[in-house]
Structure 1
Amino acid sequence: MASSSSDNYAQRAREQLGFSRWWLIVAAAIAMAVVSPYQYVWSSIEGPLARDLDIPLTQLGLVFTLFVIFQSGSQFPVGWWRDRHGPRGITLVAATLAGGSYLGLAYATAVWQLYVLYSLGAIGVGIVYTVSVNTALKWFPDRRGLTTGAGTMAFAGGAALFVPYVRANASLGGYSVVLRNMGFVIGIAIVIAAVILRDPPANWSVDNMTDEAQYSRHDHTWREVLSTWQFWVMYGIFVTVSGAGLMLTAKIVLFAQRMELNAVTATMSATLLPIAGGVGRLLMGDLSDRVDRQKAMAASFILCGLGLFAVVWFGQTNSSFGFIVSVVVATFFWSPQYTLFPTIVADYYGETHSSANYALLYSGKMWGGIFGGAVTAWLATATSWVTVFNIGGVFAICGGLAALVLRPPTDNSHSAGDAVRSRSLSSDE
């Protein structure tokens, strides 16, 4: 978009808020950063938890799958509520769930308690995620890729602050203190974000709507979204690519151990993985604002698949340096899916119902999580971890090729007046 249009958006936002709209991105990023351990620290935390409870590590295999199911599945009702009632109240609920569940982990004495606590915490993470991502979409229609990338970068990169702390305090005696401290940090940070976050008026950006074909002038409801073929192609891509990436995230430490790489390599891989993911989300999101978004998606996912093949190759050849670099490359190009998909959903279907619409697509992460958790464990037992990681590479490449067929819905020709009417009608749903 033109610089004058961006300046106009910024000025209109300041009139509504009384301060720069970028502070909303800062608040959203802080909330995203503190909930990131639920996804990105699990590979470091599951071993000590199993030792604390004196149970086989295999009994915790379901925990990550439950996290993905509840985090993804909660987002549609959360998004529907947020689009109608705003982000503040629901974000305070997230502070209780996400912070309180980590506190509870410190006192867990049975594996079923881990299942329950991690699932409740996952709902809190889902709330924070949908609120944060859609804050960017609603306030920054001119910089969707960059601002969504900033929030999702914090979700990936924030874990890098926790991984060294967790792995350095993995003793039986000190682990409960680690979990309690993390719970307090998570809860307090989300409360602070809740005080700052808010949504714009329904029609505040209509006067600035772009004439570019890739942006929708009609705000689709979730029912309308489901009737388009583009959504179902994106859903298939989301499932395959998230499956490949979540496998990498959840199993990288275990895979390094199975390849008989040293402990330093496993720790470096787990530490650099969220950093690479965070940087990838920001840079690829910004790039997608400047080039064709569909081509950016295709290139990113294909390169992710090639990176996964390289992880296997260097693992088999026992090259620690090559292994770490390959993990960084695969994650750098996988992780932007969580920036590129919400922006393209807003491009195609408008921002008024973006929370609910993107939540529909994000539900595909449930299936990806089932593959990345329980299915990969079963496949590894039936075949090998090398086979499993190669399958992940194939999934990512297939998703990248499928992105090339995406096109904006034909009803992008609706007028700006239609968008205003759509917003007014949405309150009757």
Structure 2
Amino acid sequence: MAADGPDHEYAARAREHLGFSRWWLVVAAALAMGAVSPYQYVWSSIEGPLATDLEISPTALGLVFTLYVIFQSGSQFPVGWWRDRHGPRGLTLLAAGLAGGSYYLLSYATTPLQLWVLYSVGAIGVGVVYTVAVNTALKWFPDRRGLTTGAGTMAFAGGAALFVPYVRANATVGGYDDVLRTMGLIIGAAILVAAFVLRDPPESWYADVDGRDAGGDEGATAAAPRGDYTWRGMLRTWQFWLMYAMFVAVSGAGLMLTAKIVSFAAAMGLTAVTATASATLLPIAGGVGRLLLGELSDRVNRRVAMAASFALCGLGLFAVVYFGQSGTTVGFLVAVVVATFFWSPQYTLFPSIVADYYGEAESSANYALLYSGKMWGGIFGGTVTGWLVTVSGWTWTFLLGGALAVVAGGAALALRPPGDARGESRPAAVAVDD
């Protein structure tokens, strides 16, 4: 956009309130997101030493990650509700203790119960960081929602890459406790730094900016919502429930890929090197996809971007099956990258379109409700996938995941802003709750 366009006005207005560039908020949010990423993406590297040292069964240890998904996802609605009313600082300070402290104390755990409790408490801290970071971008960047949420969620997907070499080199049976303590201190310190930078804008801080283009549903110059929905008002719209079903379907397909790709490769007779390479490519492809598709969605019709992204994820999963069955290593790895690249942006596209449709004032609580669909997606990607494999085999299970993503892509084309869908307009600066 031109230097005197609405994006310049947003930046100038934000600087008036902050005293510094609003992009520093994105940096702080990304720092915190990268710091908590080991909870989701480094667990597979420490569970082996933990299991050996504590003599814990795989079933008991597997519950750790299930509890993580439940508490990380389920905590976000109450966290978001509180943050929308009281700001992010106090919550983020709390998250430093929960996420950093729990990781540190994992080094002293001696029983499965202690592991379950500590990882669950830490997961709440991760949930706090996640909802604060994503919604900081939504609240301060009505003009660049896709790009800025993409930057934060990319850090969550890719930040673990900085930890993995250290963990894999040092997390031996006798040395993983030192790794956990060191990482706990790093996690806590990084979140503390972010806590003193992050803040929310005053209400209607850009209401008089000419143009108010927020990268909304009808393209990069579409108007921002003409009123803010509370979570109760949002639940009364059919658009939310359609997006919820889409979220469950796409997250289920993607989490299935993330959790089972190594096992799938082995079942297809591919080499251990290929399986390891596919798992290594997942967070890289996911992080890049979140950033690039987020930026693209600011410039085109957001729901069309969602439709294309989810459909291509499904086609990528079909290709994973095809190349896995044919034993084509390069094709298999490319298919994994394509499927992940187009799946992962759901965590950028959905928060952006929730703010497009329902406003920024209640965005933390509103997106948290949608994000709770990750719990059901996680159940599909873990427990249900395991059952389906025993009943119908790997091929049909992965094809089902691909079909879910394709259907979600088609459903995205039916989305419309709530006011437009009724043929009505919403009054400006009104909390829509009835």
TM-score scaled to structure 2, two decimals?
Answer: 0.92
Matching residue of 1:407: 416
Query: CA, structure 1 residues 105+325, in 2 after alignment: closer, same or farther (shift >3 Å)?
Result: farther
**Distance (whole Å) between structure 1 residues aligned to residue 50 and residue 35 of structure 2:** 20
Query: CA, structure 1 residues 229+104, in 2 after alignment: closer, same or farther (shift >3 Å)?
Result: same
Aligned 8 A contact 1:218 1:414 in 2: no
Residues 371-390 of structure 1: per-residue CA shift (max 9 Å, x gap): 11222223223333333222
Matching residue of 1:353: 362
Matching residue of 1:96: 97
**Distance (whole Å) between structure 1 residues aligned to residue 359 and residue 58 of structure 2:** 45
Query: CA, structure 1 residues 112+29, in 2 after alignment: closer, same or farther (shift >3 Å)?
Result: same
The answer to which of 59-68 and 11-20 deviates more is 59-68
Q: CA deviation at 1:186?
A: 0.9
Matching residue of 2:154: 153
Matching residue of 2:280: 271
Q: CA deviation at 1:34?
A: 1.2
**Distance (whole Å) between structure 2 residues aligned to residue 310 and residue 165 of structure 1:** 33
Matching residue of 1:76: 77
Matching residue of 2:216: none
Q: By percentage of residues, which structure has more helix?
A: 1
SS at the partner of 1:106? helix
Matching residue of 2:237: 228
Residues 267-295 of structure 1: per-residue CA shift (max 9 Å, x gap): 32222211111110010001001111111
Residues 14-62 of structure 1: per-residue CA shift (max 9 Å, x gap): 0101100000000000101111122222333333332232233233332
State the Cα RMSD in Å: 2.1
Q: CA deviation at 1:214?
A: 5.5
1:389 pairs with 2:390: no
Aligned 8 A contact 1:98 1:186 in 2: yes
**Distance (whole Å) between structure 1 residues aligned to residue 52 and residue 76 of structure 2:** 33
The answer to which of 164-173 and 302-311 deviates more is 164-173
Matching residue of 1:337: 346
The within-5 A match list for 1:190-229 is 190-208=191-209, 210=212, 213=222, 215-229=224-238
1:305 pairs with 2:314: yes
**Distance (whole Å) between structure 1 residues aligned to residue 409 and residue 376 of structure 2:** 18
Aligned 8 A contact 1:65 1:374 in 2: no
Matching residue of 1:55: 56
Query: CA, structure 1 residues 52+247, in 2 after alignment: closer, same or farther (shift >3 Å)?
Result: farther
1:12 pairs with 2:13: yes
Query: CA, structure 1 residues 261+180, in 2 after alignment: closer, same or farther (shift >3 Å)?
Result: farther
Q: CA deviation at 1:213?
A: 5.0
Residues 45-83 of structure 1: per-residue CA shift (max 9 Å, x gap): 333332232233233332222211111111110000000
Matching residue of 1:294: 303
Matching residue of 1:64: 65
**Distance (whole Å) between structure 2 residues aligned to residue 238 and residue 228 of structure 1:** 16
Matching residue of 1:380: 389
Query: CA, structure 1 residues 30+205, in 2 after alignment: closer, same or farther (shift >3 Å)?
Result: same
Q: Between the two proteins, what is the percent identity of the paired residues?
A: 73
Residues 200-247 of structure 1: per-residue CA shift (max 9 Å, x gap): 001101112637555311111111100111000000000010011112
Query: CA, structure 1 residues 173+319, in 2 after alignment: closer, same or farther (shift >3 Å)?
Result: farther
Corresponding residue pairs, total: 423
Q: CA deviation at 1:165?
A: 2.9
Query: CA, structure 1 residues 150+266, in 2 after alignment: closer, same or farther (shift >3 Å)?
Result: same
SS at the partner of 2:262? helix
1:135 pairs with 2:136: yes
Gaps of 5+ in 2: 214-220
**Distance (whole Å) between structure 2 residues aligned to residue 160 and residue 392 of structure 1:** 26
Aligned 8 A contact 2:212 2:223 in 1: no
**Distance (whole Å) between structure 1 residues aligned to residue 6 and residue 136 of structure 2:** 19
